[in-house]
């Protein structure tokens, strides 16, 4: 079954989700990163009725880790999704360039995409709620007190 972006948008709004943008066949859901209204979008629904989310780790948080370990940290965030039928669909290393000096890299993100195919819009809405609840960025351990 396939639906159009307008149908997805209507279903998302009716389910109480906030829209971020529509890009072609993907409708991205807004995910508030902080209370000051900064938004990100690591969750989307496609017209082929699949729900996708992206998790990541950042080089600046784990400067001594090898690339494989950074992907492992990101992958660990999605462990519960595998039990729900999500599959890993890709990895990407994404450098974050300085907007003032594009030759300078501020950080590098190690991102992994996961996706689940669903059969109805109602099922997609339930999966969007699940995907939004997943922590999207691996964090450093809290410092210990001495």
Q: Confirm whether 73 is domain-assigned.
A: yes
Per-residue pLDDT at 102 exceeds 90? yes
Q: Which residues pair with 39 in a beta bridge?
A: 32
Q: Confirm whether 107 is domain-assigned.
A: yes
Q: Confirm whether 142 is domain-assigned.
A: no
Per-residue pLDDT tens digits for 41-89: 889 999 999 999 999 999 999 999 999 999 999 999 999 999 999 999 9
pLDDT at 54: 96
CA dihedral over 125, 33, 61, 94, signed as positive or negative? positive
Q: Confirm whether 112 is domain-assigned.
A: yes
Q: Confirm whether 128 is domain-assigned.
A: yes
Query: How big is the chain by its Cα radius of gyration, in Å?
Result: 17
* DSSP three-state, residue 49: coil
Q: Confirm whether 89 is domain-assigned.
A: yes
Domain housing 105: 5-133
Among 32-36, 55-59, 72-76, 118-122, the minimum mean pLDDT is found in 32-36
For the chain, the domain total comes to 1
Sheet holding 26-32, edge to edge: 19-23, 26-32, 39-46, 50-58, 105-117, 87-97
How far is 37 from 113, CA to CA, in rounded Å?
25
Q: Confirm whether 113 is domain-assigned.
A: yes
């Amino acid at each position: 079954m396939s639906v159009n972006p307008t149908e997805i948008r209507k279903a998302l709004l009716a389910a109480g989700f906030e829209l971020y943008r529509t890009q072609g066949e993907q409708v991205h859901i807004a995910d508030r990163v902080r209370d000051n209204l900064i938004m990100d979008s690591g969750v989307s629904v496609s017209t082929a009725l699949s729900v996708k989310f992206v998790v990541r780790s950042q080089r600046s948080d784990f400067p001594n880790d090898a690339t494989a370990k950074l992907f492992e940290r990101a992958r660990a965030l999605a462990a519960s999704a595998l039990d729900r039928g999500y599959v890993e669909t890709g990895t990407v290393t994404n450098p974050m360039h300085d907007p003032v000096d594009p030759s300078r890299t501020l950080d590098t993100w190690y991102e992994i995409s996961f996706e689940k195919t669903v059969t109805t819009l109602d099922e997609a809405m339930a999966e969007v709620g699940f995907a939004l609840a997943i922590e999207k960025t691996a964090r450093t351990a809290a410092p210990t007190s001495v």
